[in-house]
Amino acid sequence: MSGAKVKAAIYGTLATVILAILIVMGSRNLAHFDAALVGYTFAVLFAAFGIVYRYAMWLQRPPTALYWRRGWQLFFQPRWMGRNLAQLAARLVGGFAVNRFIWKRNWGRGAAHMLIMWGCVLASAVTFPLVFGWVHFATVPGRFDLYQAHVFGFPTQTFPVESFFAFLVFHALVWASFLVIAGVMLAMRRRMREHGAAAVQQFGEDFLPLILLFAISATGLMLTASYTWMKGYAYDFLAILHAATVIFTLLWLPFGKLFHIFMRPAQLGVSFYKDVGARTEPARCRRCGEEYASRMHVEDLMDVERRLGFQYESDIPGIEHYQWICPGCRRRMFALAQGRLWGGAAGRPAGAPTLD
């Protein structure tokens, strides 16, 4: 096993152990832990290991490692800290809460992504604390008409059982399911009707995530319908079916398309990198003298290429590396090289113009 895999396995194991300790502590030594949910808990622990392991492997790749390290360095530089904090707040709202970059593509993709994302966020915010025993509800002693929420074992808000607030809280997963199902339907509609999407889609990357999200939401709604209107009819079967879909999704999470949920926040570092690069010294083409990128970016790119084993050093006087050439001059140099090869192979036609 390589050193990168060993390091990633250590990080994954450490994250899993920390999460297990938090579950024990948050549930007051498992006093508020529901043994019926142990399958979900072990699936979450496995998912935590897989997610951290894959993330650690991803961060150890030379390009990602450089962006990750440089992004934090630039973000915490004192002279740009205020501007970076303001940009961070704006990007968290525009890039994550609103998904502005997806709405720019078309309304269907934006609406589907928005519904699925916020449905999953709501469901996760409710499900994981309940499964881990971090949150539980109990009646107030001597008042069976009042419920009290307990967070990490500490009593918090009290509210009437028949109140509208209680109705919203106890049916939060229902609202989340409605959002996810609506988003999945919009996404499925696009994949079946748009020829461009249909030409490149794959079952494991495009359909399976939507099918799993729909299955979790649909079976969860069936459970609610069973104990609310059907006197528990087929509840045991539905509970097993729902558990199977959730556990399978958690086990598949580190390996499938949904892993981009955890990779996406790293894009913030890339955006800060670009912003700072635009404010710092530019790189000038060693052939034409035009600005074409930031000097920091070009030097980092050369460092990454060396780490990956690519050698683009140049023996042309004044041009130490190919990356010091702007894209326009690269195309010109390519055309000149092709012209020289053509002229050397076929001979220069009479009256042909020179290429120099």
Sequential pLDDT tens for the chain (356 residues): 678 899 999 999 999 999 999 999 999 998 888 888 899 999 999 999 999 999 999 999 888 888 888 888 888 888 878 888 888 888 888 878 888 888 888 888 889 999 999 999 999 999 999 999 999 888 888 888 899 999 998 998 899 988 999 999 999 999 999 999 999 999 998 888 877 777 788 888 888 999 999 999 999 999 999 988 998 899 999 999 999 999 999 999 998 888 888 888 877 777 778 888 888 889 999 889 899 889 998 999 999 998 888 888 887 777 888 899 999 998 988 898 888 888 765 555 544 444 44
Residue count of the chain, please give it.
356
Distance from C-alpha of 40 to C-alpha of 48, rounded to nearest angstrom: 12
Six-digit token string for 182: 């609506």
CA–CA gap between residue 203 and residue 245 (Å, rounded)? 17
The one-letter amino acid code at 40 reads Y
Residue where the block lists tokens 């390009």: 63
Decide: 190 and 112 in contact? Cβ < 8 Å. yes
Helix (H) or strand (E) holding 151: strand 143-151
